[in-house]
Amino acid sequence: MADAAAASVAAIPRGRAVRNPLSLVRVTTAIARTAAGFGVAFMLQSVPAMIDQLPNMNPAWSVVLVGSLVASLLLTVVVSAIGRGLRVGHVTFAIVYLVALVSWPFAVLDPAKAPNPESYWLYYTLTIATAMATVGLGIRLATVYVVLAPVIYGVIRVTPAGGGVTITQSVLDAVYAIILGGAITIITAILRNAASSVDRAQATALRRYGHAVRQHAIEAERVQVDAIVHDSVLTTLLSAARAETAEAKELAALMAGNAIGHLRDAVSEAPQSDAEVSVAALANRVADAAAALSEPVYVDSDAVRFGRVPVAVAEAMYSAAVQAMVNSLQHAGAGAERWAEIRGGADDLVIEVGDRGAGFDPDAVPTERLGVRVSILERVASVGGIAVIDTAPGAGTVVSLHWPARREAAR
């Protein structure tokens, strides 16, 4: 089943990409990629100085530390490109750089040949190390790193192994690195706070919408039940109160059974309405909901045909699709490819929401978790449709919503 889902996913044409302009995931990824890109540029800039100064360093130190720096920098490039493991990659570079910085004076072979007054080659990547610490660490630890690393460099520079520069030169180098690293940290913190605010607003909007949908459903159900109580239950009670003959009592019992049946049917039947919504309007609502999410969802509505569906059907299909997208954001993993496809018309409407994320085992979902069973499966079934969930651990998830329910969809 997972292989079939993957094949069907690959065959889905991609439509317009709906992207949210700001989210914590996107901001963090953008900052990480920027830091990795500048890291490569600054590392290349340090190559001439490195070639000139490494002959005066212990060969073992040069091989181990320089190799570790290059490897950790490549790691940051890879994790930034794929959008996963950002913190691990950037923190690794920051730690390796700090180890190289602290061990630098102990690896100098001849202090008399230490660089003076030109900067040591590690200085070229100092700002990048502070930037990567900002990406990978919390604001407090990043601030400590931004101050600590330049101070260590300044202290080493006044020693004979560090070049024996003047205190003024050492302080200027350290202060410059602190100011630049501090600016990067502040900008990163501002962007992250703004993105977090957007994410919180989005979550609040989705909660409010879900609450409004539930309130509407409750009110519609109340009106329906009130009508049944008035038309059936009260009439049955009045008939039972006035029943004196055997025939009247038998009729009252029959009416009571019918009233109970009406109440039972009210639980599973959606309230009827003559109002209708176009399939195109439903597709636009799904696209708008996807645009409000914190990660991109590719929406394809090119196969939508002209037609109209009842309001209850549109609300159920839309709400189930939104719930499927929210579930994907919560459980599929950051950076997973996500899509939503709307196709068909009034007689064969299909909304498919899928991702190439972590997937899950449907049989392992606890019964008290209502996000799939109630918000998707039962919600679509209540209007005469069917929801099919195709997923497996590690194989992604595809949620297909069909209205009206067909045997092909059920299979």
Q: Say what the pLDDT of residue 222 is.
A: 66
In this model, does residue 410 exceed pLDDT 50?
A: no
Q: Which amino acid is at 354?
A: G
Question: Between these two residues, 261 and 118, which has the higher pLDDT value?
Answer: 118
Which range among 111-115, 283-287, 355-359 shows the weakest confidence by mean pLDDT? Answer: 111-115
In this model, does residue 8 exceed pLDDT 60?
A: no
User: Rounded mean pLDDT of 305-316?
Assistant: 86
Contacting residues for 293 by C-beta, under 8 A, at least 6 apart:
20, 202, 325, 326, 329
In this prediction, residue 14 has a pLDDT band, given cuts at 50, 70 and 90, of: very low
Backbone angles phi, psi at 82, to 5 degrees: -90, -15
The total number of residues shown for the chain amounts to 411
Which letter, b or e, does each residue of 339-376 get, where b requires 16 or more Cβ atoms within 10 Å of its Cβ? bbbbbbbbeebbbbbbbbbbbbeeeeeeeeeeebeebb
Q: Say what the pLDDT of residue 252 is.
A: 67
- The DSSP secondary structure of 322-354, one letter per residue, reads HHHHHHHHHHS-TT--EEEEEEB-SSSEEEEEE
Contacting residues for 291 by C-beta, under 8 A, at least 6 apart:
18, 19, 20
In this prediction, residue 13 has a pLDDT band, given cuts at 50, 70 and 90, of: very low
The rounded mean pLDDT for the chain is: 78
Question: Between these two residues, 296 and 23, which has the higher pLDDT value?
Answer: 296
Question: Between these two residues, 285 and 227, which has the higher pLDDT value?
Answer: 285
Cα angle value 408/378/209 (rounded, 5°) = 120
Strand partners of residue 340: 299, 353
Q: Is 0.75 topped by the overall pTM?
A: no
User: Rounded mean pLDDT of 28-36?
Assistant: 81
In this model, does residue 350 exceed pLDDT 90?
A: yes
In this prediction, residue 395 has a pLDDT band, given cuts at 50, 70 and 90, of: confident
What are the tens digits of pLDDT across the range 296-305?
A: 889 998 888 8
In this prediction, residue 352 has a pLDDT band, given cuts at 50, 70 and 90, of: very high
Strand partners of residue 391: 397
In this model, does residue 240 exceed pLDDT 80?
A: no
Which tokens belong to 152? 């260590």
Strand partners of residue 327: none
What are the tens digits of pLDDT across the range 33-81?
A: 888 888 888 888 888 888 888 888 888 888 888 888 889 888 888 888 8
**118-123: Cβ within 8 A, 24+ apart:** 118/49, 119/49, 119/173, 120/49, 120/53, 120/153, 120/157, 120/162, 120/163, 121/46, 121/49, 121/50, 121/53, 121/54, 122/46, 122/97, 122/153, 123/153, 123/173, 123/177
What are the tens digits of pLDDT across the range 147-177?
A: 988 999 888 888 888 788 888 888 888 888 8
